[in-house]
Amino acid sequence: MPNLALRVEKTRAEQILTLLRGVGLLDTARRVVRSQGHVYVPVVQAPEQLPPGCEVVVHENPANPPRPSLASLLSESFGPQPVGRLPHSFDIIGSIVVINQSDRPPEQLRMVGEAIMGLHRNVRTVMVKSQPLSGEERVGGYTLVAGEGITETTHKESGCLYKLDITKVFFSPRLSAERLRVSRQVGAGEFVIDMFAGVGPFSILIAKKQPRSTVYSVEKSGEAYRYLVENIRLNRVDGNVTPLHGDVSTIFAHAEGLADRVIMNLPYEAHRFLYVASRLARQRAIIHFYSISPREEPSCAADLAARHLDGLGVTYEVLSTRVVKETAPSKLMVGLDIRVKL
Ligand SMILES: C[S@@+](CC[C@H](N)C(=O)[O-])C[C@H]1O[C@@H](n2cnc3c(N)ncnc32)[C@H](O)[C@@H]1O
């Protein structure tokens, strides 16, 4: 395999780099080389459509030095002090890193934050989650650890863009696999209701993957709704996603038998809205139900759904049950696909 690169004029290099990064064609193992007014951008393969002003060439771009590990960067900055337990998890949301651990003194957290910024060059802000997600809006408390402190960012996931402010709205990159899984099930012509849409990641991905679907996205929080509307436009899915602002039980107070698929991503409270979801569902519709279970008893989610559906007199069958993610050391978010009104 020859070492392929795009030969780009200097003035266009940044734009082309962003584009290649976005579509996953940039070869990050090799360096970008500048030479005689041109920039040689290493690519893993030639793009199908060549951006204007680019030429595919065979070019020797030297290999990038291997990335140091977080542990080695930290032992440099900590010197003789013990590094201790490393942050066992952090999330990258656009240009922001959120560390899910807060038991270090602020000075050590700053060093951890700076080491993370050294590893991930696009990261501008590192925050530590200082208060768990709370309230109806599911927003956490965050404290600045390193960097600029800008809390609004645009996150890229599965080819979609989500603008959001982590201090004002809920967003979890750990749900990306679940969103893909659900979106791949949606068939042409389906009517989908995303009952707790947030900034729109389920709705927008579904609309992108299945342009012949219709999605109604309901969101109660004013902040999240504002981003939802902006993200629908940003991803050019205004044609098939309709944002609705308000409480889902009020918005759909009288609607019945509308949806082929209902998404209920409000894990602590979803069971309270099963009466709305099952009323909105058509015959044999699928409800994607999420709930929180203790780690040692993941079956609690299915029991909770069953209790409520039985109480409503709804016929159903559980098609699949899975652990979506860990939400705390002792708690799991569990997802169920339930076919209703058999
Ligand atoms: C856990 S977040 C999920 C957001 C989104 N589905 C995602 O995956 O990022 C739940 C969202 O539901 C919204 N919400 C809570 N109660 C609601 C209600 N009764 N009606 C509509 N939206 C509600 C919250 O404001 C929050 O944005």
- Can you tell me the distance from the alpha carbon of 172 to that of 163, in angstroms, rounded to the nearest whole number? 13
From the CA of 196, how far away is ligand 1's center (Å)? 4
Question: Residue 88: what residue type?
Answer: H
Q: Which of 34-43, 61-70, 71-80, 160-169 has the lowest mean pLDDT?
A: 71-80
Q: What is the pLDDT of residue 229?
A: 98
Distance of CA 194 from the midpoint of ligand 1 (Å): 9
**Dist. CA 151–CA 125, nearest whole Å:** 8
pLDDT band at residue 75 using 50, 70 and 90 as cut-offs: low
Mean pLDDT across 309-316: 98
Burial-class residue 195 by CB neighbours within 10 Å (0-12, 13-18, 19+). Answer: buried
What is this structure's pTM? 0.80
Beta bridge partners of 215: 192, 241
Task: Provide, rounded to the nearest whole percent, the portion of the chain with pLDDT above 70.
Answer: 91
Cα separation, 278 vs 266, in Å, equals 16
State the distance from the centre of ligand 1 to the C-alpha of 140, rounded, in angstroms. Answer: 14
* Residue corresponding to tokens 């390193």: 146
Tens digit of pLDDT for each residue in 186-213?
Answer: 999 999 999 999 999 999 999 999 999 9
- Mean local confidence (pLDDT), 120-146: 92
Cβ 139 vs Cβ 170: under 8 Å? yes
- Which ligand 1 atom minimizes the distance to the CA of 263? 6
Nearest CA to ligand 1 atom 12: 196
Residues with CB under 6 A from ligand 1: 136-138, 170-171, 175, 196-198, 201-202, 218-221, 224, 247-248, 265-266
| Ligand 1 atom at shortest distance from the alpha carbon of 218 | 21
Is the predicted pLDDT of residue 165 greater than 90, yes or no? yes
User: Which token pair is 60?
Assistant: 């020797």
Q: What is the pLDDT of residues 118-131, one digit of tens each?
A: 888 899 999 999 99
pLDDT at residue number 81: 61
| CA of 270 relative to ligand 1 center, distance in Å | 10
Residue 82 pLDDT exceeds 60: no
* Sheet containing strand 90-93, strands side by side: 90-93, 96-99, 125-134, 139-147
- pLDDT reading at 83 higher than 80: no
Binned at pLDDT 50, 70 and 90, residue 147 comes out as very high
The number of beta carbons lying within 10 Å of the beta carbon of residue 335 is 23
Higher pLDDT, 262 or 90: 262
- pLDDT recorded at residue 22: 64
Query: Which atom of ligand 1 lies at the shortest distance from residue 194's CA?
Result: 6
- At residue 261 the predicted structure's pLDDT band, cuts being 50, 70 and 90, is very high
- Which residue puts its alpha carbon closest to atom 25 of ligand 1? 137
**62 alpha carbon – ligand 1 mean position (Å):** 47
Q: Which two tokens stand for residue 148?
A: 């600029």
Q: Which residue from 136, 181, 196 has its CB within 8 A of the most atoms of ligand 1, so it is best to mutate?
A: 196
Question: 193 with 244: CB under 8 angstroms?
Answer: no
Residue 234 buriedness (CB in 10 A; 0-12 / 13-18 / 19+): middle
Q: Mean of the pLDDT values across residues 2-6?
A: 86
Answer left, alpha or beta for residue 94, where phi above 0 means left and psi between -120 and 50 means alpha: left
The residue whose CB lies within 8 Å of the most ligand 1 atoms, and thus the one to mutate among 176, 217, 266, 324, is: 266
